């Protein structure tokens, strides 16, 4: 199975009102080379692999070659017009399709796609965008749950899934390319979606994937060590996140102050900011207080600037999840939903399923086995603390690290894992093209340096590791398997090998007699 074969298709609306090429050129102030008088478009693509008949093909410079070299293939697949730059025009020479010249086409891609799909001001659902190192997926799901409980028709796009008015589809990327995002929004509009919760990664902002969208409310969870293979340290990473909080991207913002970087985002924001925190000393506008933590539920209280108060819960373990819920609630309030209506709707808890987020997969009477998507030092810290709080026995940590991704965070991941658990099992995750034994050695060495006395096991592959982990625990103990979460594959030398940690854990539990 190749990666291309396993990647889900782009979602588009079933029906698109044809857009005249002449109107398109006039709107963007572009000249048409060739006869475009009778040409209309029903889609837009930057990749021949996703191109459909009636598309406008965007031929852009790439890492290895120029998109203009694929125009003949685009024509074969039904493209009706081309947008390219001066370099592309030189490569095309006598193009059989009407062509528009636009320099730096990638910087305009979101706006071009928005126009083609009719995603224009006054014709859009309410858009919520959440960014941060950890918690953005959880906040996105919790926000969608709140909106559903307010009887809204919801859409969602996250690391795990796309939701369209109740339809659930596996995701391609955390945040789709701008052409895919605009097509997705158009499909949501077609299906009657009123509100869309979008997880926005730093890469999506720096790679212009959310261009052409203006979020009604932008949210910030936190920032910690991650993606330093893409960003040159904390400040560069922070500046990437801060792009969401500009007037070009958002109308208003809600910022969590639980990390020092929340204060920085609030200072950098070009739009009005409302703050939320779990720490009373932060003097945030809204305060979250945890009332109780259980293996599958966290109860909390949210207090507002005018003394507003609600009590609710999230169907997942951890104080940090209460923080995410508080952020989601305040985002809904800033979008115009009344505090009283929200308080009433979620009085018995927020109804949301968060795939692969501290997900308890073991039956009653067995050691508690949690499968989690966390893959950063801060995620390990919060989740281990949450598991420890509800575990009467020992806590075993099972994890591996991504290959060909930010290697600088691996020692901290191993250190925090070692400091927070009673037994550590190190295994493989997504090795990609990196030697998995080398990755494991770094993790084992770092863990031993942090806690020389700790019981540490190195087990490969993960199918064997979860079985070894279960042999080391008993009822009353807990296993936190961090990294794989909801994912249904492992990336091994460029091949997405089908694999589910949740299914593997359940099978191992059954084999162990639970």
Within 13 Å of residue 238, how many CA atoms lie on the same side as its CB?
17
Strands 154-157 and 217-220: unpaired
84-89: long-range contacts, CB 8 A cutoff, minimum separation 24: 84/58, 84/59, 84/60, 85/60, 85/61, 87/61, 88/59, 88/60, 88/61, 89/33
Two tokens at 303? 């207090």
Read off φ and ψ for residue 371, nearest 5 degrees: -105, 125
**Residues 209 and 103 occupy one common structural domain:** no
The whole-number pLDDT of residue 130 equals 97
Residue 73 domain-assigned (yes or no): yes
Q: Which of 290, 317, 345 is the last residue of a domain?
A: 345
Q: Which residue shows structure tokens 């998995």? A: 436
What's the pLDDT score for residue 375?
84
pLDDT at 80: 97
Report helix, strand or coil for 286. strand
**The pair of three-digit structure tokens given for residue 367, joined into one six-digit string:** 């050691």
Confidence bin at 473 (pLDDT 50/70/90): very high
Question: At 76, which CATH number?
Answer: 3.40.1390.10
Q: Are residues 163 and 297 in the same domain?
A: yes
CATH code of residue 473: 3.90.190.20
Q: What is the pLDDT of residue 63?
A: 86
Q: Are residues 494 and 445 in the same domain?
A: yes
Cα–Cα distance list, 456 to 15, 417, 509 (Å): 57, 11, 21
Instruction: Give, in degrees to the nearest 5, the angle at Cα 199 between 402 and 46.
Output: 85
DSSP 492: E
Residue 71, both tokens: 């125009």
pLDDT band at 2 (very low <50, low <70, confident <90, very high): very low
Q: Structural domain tally of the chain?
A: 3
Nearest to 51 by CA among 18, 85, 74: 74
Q: How confident is the model at residue 3 (pLDDT cuts 50, 70, 90)?
A: very low
Give the model's confidence band at 4: pLDDT under 50 very low, under 70 low, under 90 confident, else very high.
very low
Helix axes 377-389, 410-420, angle to 10 degrees: 10
Contact 413, 380 (CB under 8 A): yes
Assigned domain for 6 exists: no
Provide, rounded to the nearest whole percent, the portion of the chain with pLDDT above 90. 80
List the CATH number of the domain containing 193: 3.40.1190.10
Q: What is the mean pLDDT of the chain?
A: 92
Residue 368 domain-assigned (yes or no): yes
Planar angle of CA 373, 220, 229, nearest 5 degrees: 55
Residue 354: inside a domain: no
Q: What percent of the chain has pLDDT over 70?
A: 96
Q: Confidence class of residue 73 from pLDDT cuts 50, 70 and 90?
A: very high
Owning domain of residue 250: 126-345
276 and 389 together in one domain: no
Rounded average pLDDT over 257-284: 95
Task: Pick the closest to residue 492 from 401, 429, 431 (CA basis).
Answer: 431
Residue 12 domain-assigned (yes or no): no
Residues 274-293 pLDDT 10s: 999 999 999 999 999 999 99
Strands 359-360 and 154-157 come out as unpaired
Band of residue 5 on the pLDDT scale cut at 50, 70, 90: very low
Q: Are 286 and 274 in contact (CB under 8 A)?
A: yes
Q: Using pLDDT thresholds of 50, 70 and 90, give the confidence band for residue 172.
A: low
Is 11 part of any domain? no
Please check whether residue 5 lies inside any domain of the structure: no
Half-sphere exposure of 42 (CA within 13 A, CB side): 11
């Amino acid at each position: 199975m190749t990666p291309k074969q396993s990647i889900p298709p782009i979602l588009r609306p079933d029906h698109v009102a044809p857009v005249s090429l002449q109107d398109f050129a006039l709107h963007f102030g572009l000249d048409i080379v060739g006869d475009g008088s009778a040409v209309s478009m029903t889609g837009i693509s930057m990749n021949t692999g996703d191109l459909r008949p009636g598309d406008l093909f965007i031929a852009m410079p790439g890492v290895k070659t120029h998109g203009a070299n694929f125009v003949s293939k685009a024509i074969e697949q039904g493209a009706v017009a081309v947008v390219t730059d001066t370099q592309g025009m030189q490569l095309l020479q006598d193009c059989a399709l009407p062509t528009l010249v636009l320099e730096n086409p990638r910087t305009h891609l979101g706006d071009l796609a928005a126009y083609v799909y009719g995603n224009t001001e006054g014709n859009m659902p309410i858009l919520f965008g959440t960014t941060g190192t950890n918690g953005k997926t959880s906040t996105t799901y919790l926000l969608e749950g709140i909106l559903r409980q307010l009887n809204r028709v919801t859409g969602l796009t996250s690391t795990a899934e796309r939701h369209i008015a109740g339809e659930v589809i596996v995701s391609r990327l955390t945040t789709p390319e701008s052409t895919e995002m605009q097509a997705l929004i158009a499909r949501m509009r077609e299906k009657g979606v009123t509100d869309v919760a979008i997880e926005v990664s730093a890469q999506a902002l720096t790679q212009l994937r959310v261009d052409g969208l203006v979020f009604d409310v932008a949210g910030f969870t936190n920032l910690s060590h991650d993606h330093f293979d893409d960003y040159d340290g904390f400040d560069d990473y922070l500046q990437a996140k801060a792009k969401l909080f500009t007037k070009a991207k958002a109308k208003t913002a809600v910022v969590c102050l639980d990390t020092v970087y929340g204060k920085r985002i609030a200072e950098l924001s070009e739009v009005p900011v409302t703050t939320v925190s779990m720490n009373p000393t932060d003097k945030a506008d809204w305060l979250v207080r945890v009332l109780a933590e259980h293996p599958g539920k966290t109860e909390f209280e949210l207090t507002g600037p005018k003394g507003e108060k609600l009590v609710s819960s999230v169907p997942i373990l951890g104080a940090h999840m209460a923080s995410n819920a508080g952020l989601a609630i305040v985002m809904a309030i800033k979008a115009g939903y009344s505090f009283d209506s929200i308080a009433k709707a979620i009085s018995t808890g927020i109804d949301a399923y968060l795939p692969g987020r501290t997900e308890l997969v073991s039956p009653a009477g067995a050691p508690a086995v949690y499968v989690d998507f966390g893959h950063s030092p801060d995620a390990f810290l919060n989740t281990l603390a949450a598991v420890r709080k509800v575990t009467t026995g020992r806590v075993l940590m099972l994890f591996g690290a991504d290959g060909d991704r930010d290697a600088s965070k691996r020692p901290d991941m191993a250190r925090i894992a070692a400091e927070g658990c009673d037994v550590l099992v190190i295994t493989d995750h997504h090795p990609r093209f990196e030697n998995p034994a080398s990755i494991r050695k770094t993790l084992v060495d770092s863990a031993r340096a942090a806690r020389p006395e700790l019981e540490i096991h190195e087990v490969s592959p993960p199918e064997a590791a979860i079985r070894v982990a279960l042999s080391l625990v008993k009822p009353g103990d807990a296993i936190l398997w961090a990294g794989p979460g909801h994912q249904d594959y492992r990336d091994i030398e460029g091949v997405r090998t089908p694999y589910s940690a949740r299914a593997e854990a359940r099978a191992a539990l059954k084999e162990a007699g639970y």
